[in-house]
């Protein structure tokens, strides 16, 4: 313990402790063997309750023993008078309180206490609230107790306004009390609901919460709790679901690809429905999927005829487009491209975003290296106009990496997301004006991960040269690029081939030049690419193997190998 002088133990004292420990272990094993033997025999009596009590007072974390006690009490309580039942429940609650005083964060003890109160003839909710007050005064971050408190308050019928004040008192005592901030987020929508507000909370109440968070920032800007609450306030709104693009292709393998701005489900109750011309509507369902890109491949297009395509979900038609006579493909793009790349800060109005940005800029003058303020500032800039503030956002990401190097990977992923959003939005605008554009250049951007590929379904030529893509995880989005014919991953940090390459069945040219691929077996992924004609593996350690060329040529006899 801190501040206490460490006293060396003599050999005799150490031996005495060892014997005492062995004695306790032996006692514990014997008691447990006896208990489990009784359970196997189906014994459910007061003697067994006493036996389990002895063990649980020594170690309250054994959930199985609490479960056994519930089995016994379930058997005994219905046979008792109301007075005996009340006495038995009070005894159980006393045992639980003794256990909690030793181990206040034992989840199974709090769970069992709930169960006892549910079966008690006369639960004392006022006492339970006092118990919560006691334990939260002792340890204000005990989230098991906070969870139990919400249960007690609900049962006791205490108004949310009282608890809202309680959360404020806890925060005023310690701004770092994350549990109190979280509790406040649960109470705020109940106390100040608003049907006219996008986030469902009264605007005046929100302003007061922003002020409370700002007070915490200026008191201790390095504490994360208030920053998380602030982000919750800004991002509480719900983003509406919208279609980003629809690609219809007639030949050689007919399909319709529908991309959304967020992951959606297509269930039997509410499917995505595809209708071709006068044909019967075709639902696209898979209750196990929750994706931002949906495919419909089992289609028959009329040959040499114009065909109307309708995409529906829910009550209305989301998209209606046509595939012209003689045309092999058609792409529909949403008129609201900015909404495809909107950030997490969905609840705030532009006025609030501007106001919070001013506050963050002022705080950065005082705390220029505060990572929470830097991160919030750039997220506000992205929400206001990610294209207009592009340079400042990138500078802030670079500064974050220097200020907080342990989270470099996280910041680099966010930076990659921003860069791709800016580039892709511009490319989609160009594609709207020039239907022949099917290429996309994302080279030399130091990307660590690929994002928004659900909106790249029309891309046939993709350049990813000179980035920092190094794993299957970073290239998971490749699975969406079914139209891709040429892909360059040259000058990255790949040590193995991503499995998602195997799904690019239209791919004709692949460059893996100057990576770190060492194993021949990695090329097995390419067996499923029937159209692959050219493979560049120059500059990889695998090229030094004597059997590299024969191995690849045998596996892919029709390709041009550059090594």
Parallel/antiparallel/unpaired status of strands 272-276 and 282-284:
antiparallel
CB burial class (10 A; 0-12, 13-18, 19+) of residue 150?
middle
pLDDT in tens for each of the 563 residues of the chain? 445 555 566 777 788 888 888 888 898 899 999 999 999 999 999 999 999 999 999 999 999 999 999 999 999 999 999 999 999 999 999 999 999 999 999 999 999 999 999 999 999 999 999 999 999 999 998 999 999 999 999 999 999 999 999 999 999 999 999 999 999 999 999 999 988 777 788 889 999 999 999 999 999 999 999 999 999 998 876 677 888 999 998 877 788 889 988 888 888 888 888 888 877 777 877 766 778 888 877 677 777 788 888 888 876 768 888 888 888 889 999 998 888 887 666 656 788 899 999 999 999 999 999 999 999 999 999 989 999 999 999 999 999 999 999 999 999 999 999 999 999 999 999 999 998 899 999 999 999 999 999 999 999 999 999 999 987 789 999 999 989 999 999 999 999 998 899 889 899 999 999 999 999 988 988 988 999 999 999 999 999 998 998 999 888 888 888 87
- Please report whether residue 183 resides in a domain: no
CB burial class (10 A; 0-12, 13-18, 19+) of residue 456?
buried
Do 514 and 488 touch, CB atoms closer than 8 A?
no
Nearest one of 321, 240, 314 to 271, comparing CA atoms? 314
- Please report whether residue 305 resides in a domain: yes
**The pair of three-digit structure tokens given for residue 421, joined into one six-digit string:** 């959003």
Predicted local confidence at residue 1, as pLDDT: 43
Predicted local confidence at residue 209, as pLDDT: 95
- Please report whether residue 19 resides in a domain: no
The number of angstroms, rounded, from the C-alpha of 251 to the middle of its chain's C-alpha atoms is: 38
Nearby residues of 328 by Cβ (< 8 Å), 6 or more positions away: 249, 250, 251
Last residue of a domain, one of 297, 315, 334: 334
List the CATH number of the domain containing 262. Answer: 2.60.40.1130
What is the DSSP track for 472-506?
TGGGGGGGG-TT--EEE-TTS--SS--GGGGG-TT
Last residue of a domain, one of 311, 334, 357: 334
Distance of CA 383 to CAs 42, 164, 331, 389, Å?
A: 62, 30, 28, 10
Last residue of a domain, one of 281, 316, 334: 334
Total-model pTM: 0.86
How big is the chain by its Cα radius of gyration, in Å? 32
**The pair of three-digit structure tokens given for residue 166, joined into one six-digit string:** 């309680």
Do 450 and 476 touch, CB atoms closer than 8 A?
yes
* Cis geometry, peptide bond prior to residue 252 (ω within 30 degrees of 0): yes
Q: Which residue has the tokens 């989840």?
A: 107
- Please report whether residue 355 resides in a domain: no
Tell whether the torsion through CA atoms of 550, 552, 554 and 556 is positive or negative: negative
Q: Categorise residue 452: left if φ over 0, alpha if ψ from -120 to 50, beta otherwise.
A: left
Do 362 and 370 touch, CB atoms closer than 8 A?
no
Distance of CA 219 to CAs 53, 210, 213, Å?
A: 47, 14, 10
- Please report whether residue 300 resides in a domain: yes
- Please report whether residue 513 resides in a domain: yes
Predicted local confidence at residue 6, as pLDDT: 58
CA distance 134 to 120: 22
List the CATH number of the domain containing 550. Answer: 3.80.10.10
Do 305 and 292 touch, CB atoms closer than 8 A?
no
- Please report whether residue 454 resides in a domain: yes
- Please report whether residue 178 resides in a domain: no
Count of domains in the chain? 2
CB burial class (10 A; 0-12, 13-18, 19+) of residue 489?
buried
Nearest one of 561, 545, 548 to 512, comparing CA atoms? 561
SS (H, E, C) 163-204: HHHHHHHHHHHCCCCHHHHHHHHHHHHHHCECCCCCCCECHH
Domain hosting residue 460, numbered range = 438-561
Three-class SS of residue 259?
strand
Parallel/antiparallel/unpaired status of strands 255-266 and 243-249:
antiparallel
């Amino acid at each position: 313990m801190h501040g206490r002088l460490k006293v060396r133990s003599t050999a005799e004292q150490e031996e005495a402790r060892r014997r005492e420990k062995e004695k306790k272990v032996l006692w514990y094993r014997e008691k447990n063997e006896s208990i489990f033997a009784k359970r196997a025999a189906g014994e459910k009596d007061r003697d067994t309750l006493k036996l389990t009590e002895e063990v649980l007072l020594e170690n309250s974390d054994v959930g199985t023993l609490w479960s056994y006690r519930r089995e016994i009490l379930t058997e005994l309580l219905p046979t008792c008078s109301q007075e005996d039942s009340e006495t038995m429940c009070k005894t159980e609650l006393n045992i639980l309180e003794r256990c909690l005083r030793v181990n206040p964060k034992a989840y199974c003890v709090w769970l069992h206490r709930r169960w006892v109160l549910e079966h008690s003839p006369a639960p004392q909710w006022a006492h339970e609230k006092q118990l919560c007050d006691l334990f939260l005064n002792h340890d204000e971050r005990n989230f098991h107790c906070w969870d139990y408190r919400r249960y007690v308050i609900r049962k006791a019928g205490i108004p949310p306004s009282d608890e809202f004040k309680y959360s404020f008192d806890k925060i005023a005592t310690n701004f770092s009390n994350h549990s109190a901030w979280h509790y406040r987020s649960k109470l705020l929508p109940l106390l100040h609901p608003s049907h006219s507000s996008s986030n469902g909370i009264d605007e005046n109440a929100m302003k007061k919460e922003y002020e409370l968070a700002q007070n915490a920032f200026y008191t201790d800007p390095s504490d994360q709790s208030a920053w998380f609450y602030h982000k919750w306030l800004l991002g509480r709104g719900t983003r509406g679901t919208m279609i980003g693009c629809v690609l219809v292709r007639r030949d050689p393998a007919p399909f319709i690809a529908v991309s959304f701005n967020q992951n959606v489900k297509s269930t039997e109750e509410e499917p995505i429905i595809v209708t071709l011309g006068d044909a019967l509507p075709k639902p696209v369902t898979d209750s196990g999927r929750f994706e931002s890109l949906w495919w419909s491949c089992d289609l028959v297009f009329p040959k040499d005829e114009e065909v109307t395509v309708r995409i529906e979900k829910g009550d209305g038609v989301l998209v209606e487009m046509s595939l012209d006579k003689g045309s092999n493909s058609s792409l529909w793009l949403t008129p609201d491209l900015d909404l495809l790349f909107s950030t997490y800060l969905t609840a705030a109005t532009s006025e609030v975003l501007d106001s919070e940005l001013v506050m963050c800029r002022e705080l950065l003058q005082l705390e220029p290296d505060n990572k929470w303020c830097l991160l919030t500032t750039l997220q506000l800039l992205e929400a206001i106009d990610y294209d207009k503030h592009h340079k400042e956002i990138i500078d802030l990401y670079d500064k974050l990496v220097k200020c907080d190097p342990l989270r470099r990977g996280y910041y680099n992923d966010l930076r990659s997301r921003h860069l791709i959003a800016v580039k892709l939005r511009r490319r989609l605008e160009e594609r709207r004006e020039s239907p022949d554009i099917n290429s996309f250049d994302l080279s030399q951007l130091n990307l660590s991960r690929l994002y928004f590929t659900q909106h790249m379904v029309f891309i046939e030529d993709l350049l990813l040269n000179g980035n920092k893509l190094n794993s299957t995880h970073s290239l998971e989005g490749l699975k969406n690029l079914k139209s891709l014919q040429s892909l360059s991953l040259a000058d990255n940090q790949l040590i193995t081939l991503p499995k998602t390459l195997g799904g690019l069945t239209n791919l004709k040219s692949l460059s893996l030049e100057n990576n770190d691929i060492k194993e021949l077996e990695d090329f097995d992924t390419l067996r499923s690419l029937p159209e692959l004609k050219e493979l560049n593996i120059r500059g990889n350690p695998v090229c030094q193997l004597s059997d590299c060329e024969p191995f690849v040529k045998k596996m892919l006899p029709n390709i041009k190998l550059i090594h």
